[in-house]
Structure 1
Amino acid sequence: MSQRLFRFFPLCLVFLFALTACTEDVQRTLQPTPSAFGQINSLVVIADSSTWEAGVGDSVAYFFEAPYILLPQPEPIFDVRFIEPERVEAEPTWGQLRNYVVLADLSDTDSPTTQMVMQDLNNEKLQQIREEGYGTAVAKNKWATGQQLIYVVGTSHDKLLTGLSKAYPGVVKRLQEGEDERLKVTTYFQGVNRRLGDTIRDLLGTSIDIPGGYTRVPLDTDEVVWLRREVQGASMNIMLTKTPYENESQLSKEGLKEIRDRIGKEYVSSTTPNTYMRINDEDLPLFTEATRLNGAFAIEGRGIWEIENDFLAGPFVSYLLNDTTNNELVLVDGFVYAPGRKKRDLMEEIVQVIRTAEVN
C-alpha cells in the first residue's frame, strides 16, 4: 500500500508541474498585447551609451532634431529620447511607445543593442549588411500593437555613422508617413463639417474637408472665407480666396506673397487701430517650392506672419493652386496664433486640412 502511494506521489508532482506550465503558457497566450502610445512626432532612439556618446548622438540630433520649417521659435522635427536596450526590460513602459530607431554596431558583439538586433533580424538581412557595410530594416509591433522599429546597422562604428547619414531621409519619410495617419485621426476626431465644405465649394469652387470645431468668421465679403478653431492657448485659422489667373509669374513666391498680403491687409487686424497682417520675410525667410496637390500644380509657402503696428505674430503655410478649369488661382492659407505655446503640432494639423483641398 505504501509503495503504491510513493509511486503515485511523483506522478502527481509531474502532472501538477506540467499543468502549471501549460497554465502559464495559456496565460501568456491570452494576455492582451498592449497598444502603443505616445505623443505625435515623438521618437525613441535605442543604442548603447558608448555608441551614443561616440558621435552617434550628435548625428541623431543633426538629422532628427533639425528645426521644423518654419516657426518663430525653433522646434525640432521630432522630440527625441535616447535609451539603452536594458531599460526596455527594466521598465516595460518604454517598450510601449510608437516610434523607435535602433542603432547598432555589429563589430561590438558584447553590445546589448547588437545582441537584440541579431535576434530580431533574419540571417539573410544580416548577411546583406555584412556584405554592404551597413543597412536598414523595419519591424512592426515588437512590444506593442501599433509601433514600428527602424533598425540602422553598421559593421563598424564608422559604417554605422555612414549608414545613418545615407538612410536618414528615408527613415524620416517613413516616420512622418506613420505620424500623418495619426494626425489625420486627431484632426478629424469630431468628423467633417459638411456644411462649411459645401459653402466653400459654392463660393470658391474648391473642395476641402473642414474638421468639426471650425466656425466661419463673419466678413463683409464672400470672396474670402475665413475659418477659425479655438483650442487651449491657441487660435487655428484657415483662409481661402481666389483670383483670376493672368500670367505664369503669379505662380511664384512673389505671387503668393502678393495675394496673402492683400487679404491680410484687408481682413485681418488686431484690436489696435491701424493694424493689419503681413508676411515678415525680413527676420526669417519665406520658403516656397513648386509641388502638386491632388493633381493641381501649386506653390507651397511657409513663413512667419505678423500684425503691423502691434506685437502679434506666428507661423503660416499657404498653397497657391492653379485651377486650370476655371482659369483661376486659389489660395488656401493656414496660420496659428499661440503665444507661449509650442506650434509645430498645431501647424501639422492645419497642413492635414489644407492638403485635402482640390480644384479642377
Structure 2
Amino acid sequence: MNKIFFFSLVTFLFFSCSKKNENSTRPSTAKINSISIVIDDQLWNGIIGDSIRNKFASPVEGLSKEEPQFDINQYPIHVMEGFVTKSRTVIVVKIGNENYFKINKNQYATPQNAIHITGKSISDILDIIEKRAPQIIKSIQEEEIKSHQLLLNDSLLNPLVIQKQFQLRLKIPKSYSYALKNTSFIWLKNEFTSGNTSLLITQLPISVIHSNDNVLEKVIQIHDSIGALYIKGKDATSGFYIDKSYPIYQSKITLDGKLTYETKGTWRLKDNFMFGAFINYLIVDSKNNRIIFLEGFCYIPSKEQRDYMHELETIIKSVQLN
C-alpha cells in the first residue's frame, strides 16, 4: 500500500512539474501597457481597487493630454486560468492567512510578470500596495520595453547609415524614412493617417554640459536651438521648441552603461497650432568626448499618444554605442 502511495505521489509531482514547465513556456499575450488584475469584485469595488487604480492608472508623465500609465482589466479570482494566466502582466490580490508579496518571472507564460499580493486584512493589502508600487511599476515598464523591442525586430530599417555617421546602433522600424539627413543631423519620420512620429539624432561636444550646469535648462537650450535650425512649419520662423507652460520631467538613467539625462514634456511650433509630446535623451559618452542627442516626438492631434511615445522610447532605449 505504501509503495502504491509513493508511486502515486511521484507521478503527481512529475506531472505537476511538467505542467508548470509547459505553462511557463507558453507565449504571453497582451497589448502593450496593459495589466490583468485578478481580484474579487468586493475588494475591487472598495478602497483596494481605488488604490490600485491610483497607482497603476495614474497619468503618464510628459504627455500633452492625460492618459493612464497602464490599461487595467479586472477579473475575479475564480477565473485565474486560461487566457488570464497568459497575460504579460498579472497582478493577483487577495485576503489570506499571511502578508505576502512576490514578483514571479514567467510563472504561467513567457515573458511575464506574475505579481502576488496577499494580506491578512484590507489595511495590510493597502500597505503592501503603497510600499511596493514603485518596484512593481519599474518591473512592468522594463518588461514592456523588452516586449516592444521584440515586436520591432520583425521589420527594421537598415542601420548602416546611422552606424557609420554616429557610431551607434538603433532598432528603427522600416516604417520610418529620412525626412532630413546631413553630415551632423538625422531626422527620421513615420507618417500615418492620423499623424506622425519622429526621431532626431545628432551629437555634441561633451563640453556643452558642465558639472555645475542646470541640466534641465541646458536640455531646453540645446533642444530649442536644434529645433530652430531643422524643425520648422510652413513659415521659416516657426521653430520647434519646448513649451514650458506644460510640466517638464527630468531624471538620470543609464543607457548602454552610460549616464543619460531623460527629459519628457510638450513641444510646440512657434506661431503655429501644432504641438505634442516629446522624450529626449542626452547620453554622456565620455570615451568619445561627446554627448549623443536622441529625441522622439509625435504629432497626433486626434488620437491618444501614449503607445506611440512608448514605441519611440523603446527605439531609443535599444541604443548601443560603438
Instruction: Compute the TM-score of the two structures, normalised by the length of structure 2.
Output: 0.83
Query: Structure 2 counterpart of 1:86, which letter?
Result: H
1:102 has 2:67 as partner? no
1:352 has 2:289 as partner? no
Query: Structure 2 counterpart of 1:149, which letter?
Result: A
Per the TM alignment, residue 140 of structure 1 is displaced from its structure 2 partner at its CA by 3.9
Inter-partner Cα distance in structure 2 for 1:277 and 1:139: 43
1:179 has 2:141 as partner? no
Which residue in 2 is equivalent to 1:135?
Answer: 101
Q: Could you say what secondary structure the match of 1:230 adopts? A: strand
Match of residue 258, structure 1, among 207, 221, 232? 221
**Structure 1 pair 134–305 and aligned structure 2 pair: CA distance change class (3 A):** same
**Structure 1 pair 139–245 and aligned structure 2 pair: CA distance change class (3 A):** closer
1:71 has 2:63 as partner? yes
Match of residue 341, structure 1, among 271, 289, 303? 303
Which residue in 2 is equivalent to 1:196?
Answer: 161
CA contact (8 A) 2:152 2:171 kept: no
Per the TM alignment, residue 75 of structure 1 is displaced from its structure 2 partner at its CA by 1.2
The two structures, once aligned, show a CA RMSD in angstroms of 2.6
CA contact (8 A) 1:47 1:104 kept: yes
Per the TM alignment, residue 145 of structure 1 is displaced from its structure 2 partner at its CA by 6.0
Inter-partner Cα distance in structure 1 for 2:111 and 2:287: 42
Per the TM alignment, residue 197 of structure 1 is displaced from its structure 2 partner at its CA by 2.7
Per the TM alignment, residue 194 of structure 1 is displaced from its structure 2 partner at its CA by 2.4
**Unpaired runs of at least 5, structure 2:** 1-14
**Structure 1 pair 137–236 and aligned structure 2 pair: CA distance change class (3 A):** closer
Which residue in 1 is equivalent to 2:11?
Answer: none
Which residue in 1 is equivalent to 2:255?
Answer: 293
Q: Which has the higher helix share?
A: 1
Percent identical among aligned pairs is: 24
CA contact (8 A) 2:106 2:113 kept: yes
Instruction: Compute the TM-score of the two structures, normalised by the length of structure 1.
Output: 0.75
Pairing 1:23-102 to 2, within 5 Å after superposition: 35-87=27-79, 93-102=83-92
Per the TM alignment, residue 205 of structure 1 is displaced from its structure 2 partner at its CA by 4.0
Q: Which has the higher strand share?
A: 2
Query: Structure 1 counterpart of 2:90, which letter?
Result: Y
Match of residue 151, structure 1, among 116, 120, 125? 116
Inter-partner Cα distance in structure 2 for 1:196 and 1:211: 14
Q: How many residues align?
A: 299
Inter-partner Cα distance in structure 1 for 2:105 and 2:216: 41
CA contact (8 A) 1:99 1:148 kept: yes
**Unpaired runs of at least 5, structure 1:** 1-24, 108-129
The structure with higher relative contact order (CA 8 Å, sep 6+) is 2
Which residue in 1 is equivalent to 2:232?
Answer: 269
Which residue in 2 is equivalent to 1:117?
Answer: none
Which residue in 2 is equivalent to 1:126?
Answer: none
Inter-partner Cα distance in structure 1 for 2:274 and 2:313: 21
